């Protein structure tokens, strides 16, 4: 008897909820469950059918495309139309290729060149020695043993018109102002014997001022002077002094210096500033 009972029927649901509150949501949901189940099954079946139909159509179309040959009718129409167009067009005569002839260069526009003698290998019996007489040799302008040259020109101005020639002009150094005094030069002025000889000269010729010696004044005086382009000492100035007497003695010694080897700029002797520190120190202090 249990097999004949329809669990989704309204009678069965009323029997289950008999004596219970039917306004509760469970009764409503249970009563509408049969419709929901039927609707869900219908939707699933429709979706499965559509998927199967799409798969079948896709396989069929792909197989037809793979097995399909080229459209012979369309190709034939294209070939036919192409042939008609080609037949209607008149044949153009084949253009003859005309080679452009360059103007011949005049002999005087070409440099002298030596003719190369072409050697031909022949049999001994085919060799014909041409022996000229003394009279024939006198009549010719070509000396025996000379080389035959083409007539031409040695004028380079004419040759440059026929040959791309790159002429690099030697860059001349900029002129040096003789009156300018340089701070930095390519070759510094040199005292005869070097810097050691310069310091020795200053030590031997300096005279300590009496007033500075009595007042125990000592220190370093920095002197700057110009070594002219002739090597002589020019303008002298004190850039860092210690005492007027010491400064005066330092300037005197510098002015008594012998000639230097002048400094050079671009290979020319120029005037250059030279800086010399002179130390004044009392002995025993």
| 213-253 residue pLDDT tens | 999 999 999 999 999 999 999 999 999 999 999 999 999 99
Closest Cα to residue 222, out of 239, 205, 243, 199? 239
- What is the CB neighbour count within 10 angstroms for residue 135? 7
| Cβ within 8 Å of residue 220, ≥6 positions away | 240, 242, 277, 278, 279, 280
Model pLDDT, residue 101: 62
CB 223 within 8 A of CB 237: yes
Which band of pLDDT confidence, cut at 50, 70 and 90, is reported for residue 123? low
CA distance 67 to 59: 12
Task: Count CB atoms within 10 A of the CB of residue 48.
Answer: 10
Tokens standing for residue 199: 């310091």
The pLDDT value recorded for residue 85 is: 47
In a domain, 276, yes or no: yes
Query: Residue 122: what pLDDT?
Result: 60
Highest mean pLDDT pick, 97-106, 131-140, 172-181, 241-250:
241-250
Does residue 143 register a pLDDT over 60? no
How many structural domains compose the chain?
Answer: 2
Q: Which domain holds residue 14?
A: 2-53
d(C-alpha 234, C-alpha 84), whole Å: 104
| Nearest by Cα to 226 from 284, 274, 169, 178 | 274
Average pLDDT over residues 200-208: 94
CB 262 within 8 A of CB 228: yes
pLDDT of 263 strictly over 50: yes
Structure tokens belonging to residue 236? 């002298």
Sorted by sequence, the CB contacts under 8 Å of residue 154 that are 6+ apart come out as 111, 112
Pairing of strands 181-182, 268-280: parallel
Asked whether residue 111 is assigned to any structural domain, the reply reads: no
State the pLDDT at residue 3.
53
CATH number for the domain spanning 259: value is 3.30.2420.10
Q: What is the mean pLDDT of residues 134-159?
A: 57
Beta-strand ranges (E) seen in the chain are: 181-182, 219-227, 233-240, 263-265, 268-280
Confidence of residue 186 (pLDDT cuts 50, 70, 90): very high
Residue 234 has what pLDDT? Answer: 94
Rg (CA), the chain: 60
Residue with tokens 């005049």: 106
The answer to whether 219 and 242 have CB atoms below 8 angstroms apart is yes
* Rounded Cα distance, 112 and 152, in Å: 5
Length of the chain: 285
Confidence of residue 34 (pLDDT cuts 50, 70, 90): confident
pLDDT-derived band at 188 (thresholds 50, 70, 90) equals very high
Which of 109, 105, 119, 112 shows the shortest CA–CA distance to 148?
A: 112
- Between the ranges 146-155, 162-171, 269-278, where is the mean pLDDT highest? 269-278
123 within some domain: no
210 pLDDT higher than 70:
yes
pLDDT reported for residue 247: 96
Closest CA to 158 of 114, 115, 116, 112: 112
Interval 39-52: pLDDT, tens: 899 999 999 999 99
> Of 53, 71, 87, which residue constitutes the final position of a domain?
53
């Amino acid at each position: 008897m249990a097999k004949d009972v329809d669990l989704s029927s309204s009678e069965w649901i009323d029997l289950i909820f008999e004596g219970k509150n039917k306004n509760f949501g469970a009764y409503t949901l249970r009563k509408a469950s049969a419709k929901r189940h039927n609707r869900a099954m219908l939707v699933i079946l429709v979706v499965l059918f559509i998927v199967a139909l799409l798969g079948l159509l896709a396989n069929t179309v792909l197989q037809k495309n793979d097995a399909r040959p080229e459209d012979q009718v369309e190709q034939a129409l294209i070939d036919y139309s192409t042939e008609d167009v080609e037949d209607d067009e008149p044949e153009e005569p084949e253009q003859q290729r005309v080679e452009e002839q360059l103007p011949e260069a005049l002999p005087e526009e070409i440099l002298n060149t030596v003719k190369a003698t072409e050697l031909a290998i022949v049999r001994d019996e085919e060799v014909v020695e041409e022996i000229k007489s003394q009279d024939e040799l006198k009549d010719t302008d070509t000396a025996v043993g000379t080389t035959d040259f083409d007539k031409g020109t040695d004028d380079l101005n004419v040759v440059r018109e026929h040959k791309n020639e790159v002429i690099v002009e030697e860059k001349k150094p900029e002129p040096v102002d003789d009156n300018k005094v340089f701070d930095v030069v390519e070759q510094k002025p040199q005292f005869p014997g070097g810097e050691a000889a310069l310091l020795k000269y200053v030590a031997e010729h300096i005279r300590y001022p009496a007033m500075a010696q009595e007042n125990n004044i000592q220190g370093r005086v920095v002197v700057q002077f110009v070594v002219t382009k002739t090597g002589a000492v020019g303008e002298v100035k004190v850039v860092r002094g210690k005492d007027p007497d010491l400064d005066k003695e330092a300037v005197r010694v510098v002015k008594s210096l012998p000639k230097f080897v002048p400094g050079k700029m671009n290979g020319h002797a120029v005037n250059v500033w030279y800086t010399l520190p002179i130390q004044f120190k009392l002995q025993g202090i």
